[in-house]
Amino acid sequence: MGGSGEPREGDSPPHLPVVVSSEVIYQGRVVSMRVDEITLPQGGLTTRVVVDHPGAVVMIALDDQQRVFLVEQYRHAIGRMLLELPAGTLEPGEEPLVAAKRELREEVGVMAEEWKYLGSFYSSPGFVNEHLHVFVALGLTEQGADPDFDEDLTVLRIPLSELRHRLSEIPDAKSLAALHLLEKDPDYGKLA
């Protein structure tokens, strides 16, 4: 290999660790946690703790006035209220678009005529396998929210043009990543 560390054509793929053993140490309603013993490329064994997550969806719902729906909710892991895009967890075997439609209706009380898939990303692959799918929702009709029993959400609408200048108020990685995907989308000018 060259000095850049990048593989060259013809190089063999890097040695990937092999899972020697795996033990589920916690099984919750949404996530589970396991401890894997894996081989190291240089030899030897080590352990990795992995949080298994079924995946999730993030929705950028734009109304006719180019306002984005956001939710403010308490996030116990950080002990504070957080402003973020509406999002939700996939049910077992559920297609991401089906989940996006369900979660948008439940969390902010709107249905959309048009959906566009923007892409996906991993939230924090160092310890969790959560894979998030991002959608833009257009042609909105208000239906009334129906949040889960443990969700206490405040729905806000912020003009997209204003939101670009208020990103520091949204310290939520999934929301920032989703808005970045929107801005990089080739149809962005037509969507926003």
pLDDT score recorded for residue 144? 74
Q: Of 10 and 184, which is predicted with more confidence?
A: 184
With bands split at pLDDT 50, 70 and 90, how would you rate the model's confidence at 2? Answer: very low
pLDDT score recorded for residue 25? 98
Tell me the CA distances in angstroms from 103 to 57, 82, 115, 169, one per residue in order.
8, 18, 13, 23
For 5-26, the pLDDT digits (tens) are 555 565 656 789 999 999 999 9
Domain 56-191 belongs to what topology?
A: Nucleoside Triphosphate Pyrophosphohydrolase (3.90.79)
Residue ranges covered by each domain of the chain:
19-52, 56-191
pTM: 0.87
Q: What is the mean pLDDT of residues 172-185?
A: 96
Q: How high is the mean pLDDT of the chain?
A: 90
With bands split at pLDDT 50, 70 and 90, how would you rate the model's confidence at 3? Answer: very low
For 42-93, the pLDDT digits (tens) are 899 999 999 999 999 999 999 999 999 999 999 999 999 999 999 999 999 9
